[in-house]
Structure 1
Amino acid sequence: MKVLQASIYFFKSTIREKSYLFWIIAFPIILLTMLNLIFSSFYKVERINFNLYLLKQDGTFSNIIEDVLLGISKGENKIFNLKVFKDYSLRDKLIRDLKDGKTHAILEIPENFDNLMLANSMFQFFGLSSPAKIKIYSLNHNASSETTALILKNIFQRMNLEFAKRIRPIKEYEVESEIVGTKNTFSYIDFIFPGTIIYAITLTSIFGIGVEIAWYKESKIFKRIYLSPLNPLQFFLSFFLSRLYIILIQVFSLSIFCKFIFKSYINPLSIPFIGYILLSIFTLSSLGFFSASMAKNANSANVIAQIVQFPLQFLGGIYFPVFDVPWFIYWFVLINPITYLSAGIRDSLGVLASPYPAYVCILLPLLFGIFFLTIAILKFRRIEF
């Protein structure tokens, strides 16, 4: 009961400061808004049909395929913007266009396709099969390109089925898909939401815990607190709870703003997301207590906070993916707990698949938090207030 009452007292004392409220509540929302307004246009979808290159020779069967594709490339509800090429020497140029984003996929019907189809039909009588291969070129991790390839595969499956109904169950051709590159597409508001959540928690943990407790040390307030009914453990627990209230307000306000103002598809009530939020609070709060234990006064705690905060944020992937960095920077990315927290939160919300296994995203931040909290506890035990 004493812990709860003390935590409410610390919480009320904090929210009385308007400047503090601005930085911990309003500023993360402003930051989210600014980042979204600046970068969201890069990921705006402007059309729902797909660009498709068709590389073919004239022939009975290849013309049938072309007619089918032309039929769904007309009118207001067309699926494809189709361009037909009949020069196979252009293959490399078309693939470059695909990588440059000028088309979403390439459908290549092989040369002598009619002869291959007829030969395969004859081989069927002898129990042999050598299907003519139709190749689809697409980009990995590009939603439009992968969707185009999937639509094409479904079209050919349907054509195979219709052919089997009319003649007999034979497979005249098969579709071979080849990924020729990688391109990431995502909604930036969904991507930046977890990053802003982590930023807000970091702000409260490092400054709201680290700097403020260091100020308590410097001002000899601990001596008066220890004369109260609270013992040291109860004090730190109540102080942590007061910051937990603030963090919950931050998460709630950011979630509401993102969900209803920017119409994000994230689900802040999902159990994995809540679990990662609690893990983030524990890990980053431990870092705040650690910085408070190491600092001699509030100024040194503020310096430590500034030095620690920016590398953790910018090399933790909370604002943008971190890749292709020099090795001496990449090692910091790998030991940065925010790297795994941000990846885990995005994966839990279905925003972006984590490049790390789930157990790594949980275990490493947990060990990080335990390590620094242990050091902070040992350090505080040696300090005479």
Structure 2
Amino acid sequence: MRAYWQLTLAQLRIFARNKQVLFFTLLFPIILMLALGSFIGGGNSLELTIGIINKDQSDASKNLEELFYENEGLEVIEYEEQDVGKEAIENGDIQLLIEIPKGYEANLQNADKPFSLPVYYNEKNLTTSELGLTVVNGIIDQYSKDLVDYQPLVTVEKIGIEALNIRYVDFLVPGIVAMMIMSNNMNGVAGQISAWRERGILRRMQGTRLKASTFIAAQITARLFLNGTQALLVVLIANLIFKIDVVGSWLALIFFIVLGTLAFMSLGFIIAGIAKNPESAGPIAGFVTFPMLFLGGVFFPISNMPDFIQPIVKVLPIAHLSSALRETMNIGTPFLELGTETLILGAWLVGGFALASYVFKWE
């Protein structure tokens, strides 16, 4: 037991001395989180931008124009020339252009027939244009009913349902934590163990009474402490900047951080056993981790991936680690309902260390 604690403390001292590696290991996921969370979006709402040309400039036309300004879902830009407004649609600066023709107020006073407002839209962007037309039609329809004091026989009662509102940054942060755990343990373990083997440190350890199990246990404990601290620090920074709360249990979150660390550490030991030297350990680890970044649901939902990739995705450890962290942080899913993620990560852990013990070499 004494040798175990001495090795654990020695490994932590090695981490502490290499401040540059520690700094950049932690800095990269934080910068990535801040960049993607800030620039790709923190919300899931869609704002429509419309242009208005008021050629009538009467009290009635200004009242109609004011309705669009009052709508919180619309951003209104006023244009004087039709050609300028049409060019804005073509450039994508606005989605719709509404023209209030001259004589609008006079036509309302006569009320001989319905008055049509020209609305221009981009035919190549029908999805957004149709959404904008629906909003505009609703505003105009209600305005028309108010003008003639129309009282419908049947009305719609709007009953809002408070649904789960998950922003992209809420989805992203658990994926960043999973990515950091994978990278630190696969790349870190493989590189360090390979370097120690090449420098003869492992051979000298083997010549002592030190057991392999004690050496591995000390490595696991030190890395659990380091990776757990880094992962929790990322979560706290995300909470401070993006107001992300852990909806579920903190104990469940810590459990999956520990389980994910162990599972990826076992893969790191396998790579360390296969690699002939430190120079080859890095490329091998990169060859394994790089596809996982895109197939493991770190940046994008797994459900959006093609059907033929789904069977591969569903067995990757990072996919289940990302899913477990998101379920815990964003939804608050109870730990007992995450049995599939626990079993698959546990299988990678057991299978990984079993294979690592077979391929691991002291020299």
TM range (shorter): 0.5 to 0.7
Q: Does 1:300 align with 2:280?
A: yes
- Please name the residue that 1:221 is paired with: 201
Q: Does 1:329 align with 2:338?
A: no
Structure-2 change in CA distance of 1:224 and 1:198 (3 Å)? same
Structure-2 change in CA distance of 1:101 and 1:364 (3 Å)? farther
**More displaced stretch, 297-306 vs 344-353:** 344-353
- Please name the residue that 2:359 is paired with: 379
Cα distance in 2 for partners of 1:100, 1:8 equals 63
- Please name the residue that 2:321 is paired with: 341
One-letter identity of the residue aligned with 2:19: K
One-letter identity of the residue aligned with 2:322: S
Q: Is the 8 A contact 2:263 2:345 kept in 1?
A: yes
Cα distance in 2 for partners of 1:224, 1:44 equals 61
Q: Does 1:243 align with 2:223?
A: yes
- Please name the residue that 1:143 is paired with: none
Q: Is the 8 A contact 1:272 1:348 kept in 2?
A: yes
Q: Is the 8 A contact 1:191 1:352 kept in 2?
A: no
1:339 Cα shift?
1.2
Q: Is the 8 A contact 2:202 2:362 kept in 1?
A: no
- Please name the residue that 1:124 is paired with: none
One-letter identity of the residue aligned with 1:43: N
- Please name the residue that 2:237 is paired with: 257
1:337 Cα shift?
1.5
Deviation per residue, 1:105-137 (Å, 9 max, x gap) = x99xxxxxxxxxxxxxxxxxxxxxxxxxx999x
5+ residue gaps, structure 2, are: 49-66, 74-125, 139-153
1:332 Cα shift?
2.2
Question: Could you state the TM-score of these two structures normalised by the residue count of structure 2?
Answer: 0.65
- Please name the residue that 1:314 is paired with: 294
Structure-2 change in CA distance of 1:186 and 1:11 (3 Å)? same
Q: Is the 8 A contact 2:296 2:302 kept in 1?
A: yes
Cα distance in 2 for partners of 1:324, 1:347 equals 18
Q: Is the 8 A contact 1:190 1:266 kept in 2?
A: no
Cα distance in 1 for partners of 2:158, 2:4 equals 60
Cα distance in 2 for partners of 1:135, 1:286 equals 63
Q: 1:274-289 alignment to 2 at 5 Å?
A: 274-289=254-269
Q: Percent identity?
A: 26
1:227 Cα shift?
3.5
5+ residue gaps, structure 1, are: 48-72, 80-95, 108-133, 137-147, 153-182
Cα distance in 1 for partners of 2:285, 2:321 equals 19
Deviation per residue, 1:181-214 (Å, 9 max, x gap) = xx99621222111111111111211111112111
Cα distance in 2 for partners of 1:340, 1:199 equals 12
Q: Does 1:18 align with 2:19?
A: yes
Q: 1:32-51 alignment to 2 at 5 Å?
A: 32-41=33-42, 43=44
Cα distance in 2 for partners of 1:239, 1:150 equals 56
Q: Is the 8 A contact 1:206 1:287 kept in 2?
A: yes
Question: Could you state the TM-score of these two structures normalised by the residue count of structure 1?
Answer: 0.61
1:346 Cα shift?
0.8
Cα distance in 2 for partners of 1:368, 1:210 equals 17
Structure-2 change in CA distance of 1:292 and 1:197 (3 Å)? same
- Please name the residue that 2:339 is paired with: 359
1:19 Cα shift?
2.6
Cα distance in 1 for partners of 2:319, 2:272 equals 23
- Please name the residue that 1:87 is paired with: none
1:299 Cα shift?
1.6
Structure-2 change in CA distance of 1:262 and 1:97 (3 Å)? closer
- RCO higher in 1 or 2 (8 Å CA, sep ≥ 6)? 2
Three-state SS of the structure 2 residue aligned to 1:230 is coil
Aligned residues: 273
Three-state SS of the structure 2 residue aligned to 1:43 is coil
RMSD of the TM alignment (CA)? 3.8
Q: 1:102-121 alignment to 2 at 5 Å?
A: 102=132
- Please name the residue that 1:130 is paired with: none
- Please name the residue that 1:151 is paired with: 160
Q: Does 1:6 align with 2:7?
A: yes
Q: Is the 8 A contact 2:196 2:202 kept in 1?
A: yes
Q: Is the 8 A contact 1:255 1:268 kept in 2?
A: no
- Please name the residue that 1:54 is paired with: none
